[in-house]
Copies of this chain bind each other. A is one copy, B any other.
Amino acid sequence: MTADAEVVGLIAVCKARAGLEEATRDVLLPTVPWALAKPGCVRYVLHVDRNKPAEFVFYEIWADQAALDAHWASPEFKTLVARLDGLLVERATVTLLQTIA
């Protein structure tokens, strides 16, 4: 029972600066419907860490690397990254995943 090797999973953690948690959330939340509408976006879920309310965690599944690359290369994503620069402690940490089952 092995998942499709093409599929790319991803966990991204965005750490908001103190006092900017709500502002960060307001920037991240609209990306959900926007990303889900993109070709090859299979799953795109925004969470907050229950024990660290300043840490927002994305879980994403993309049909293949090309779909993820297109997402990252899109003007909207670059705008998002620029906006987050003023809100986050550091650049988002990204863990790339291979789905097994």
Contact = CB atoms under 8 A, between A and B. Distances in A.
Interface of A: 1, 8-9, 11, 25, 28-29, 32-33, 45-51, 56-57, 59, 95-101
A95 B57 contact: yes
24 contacts: A1-B29, A1-B32, A8-B50, A9-B45, A9-B47, A11-B57, A11-B59, A28-B100, A29-B100, A29-B101, A32-B101, A45-B101, A46-B100, A47-B97, A47-B98, A47-B99, A48-B97, A48-B100, A49-B96, A49-B97, A50-B97, A51-B95, A51-B96, A57-B95
A48 B101 contact: no
Given A1-B29, A11-B11, A32-B1, A49 B101 contact: no
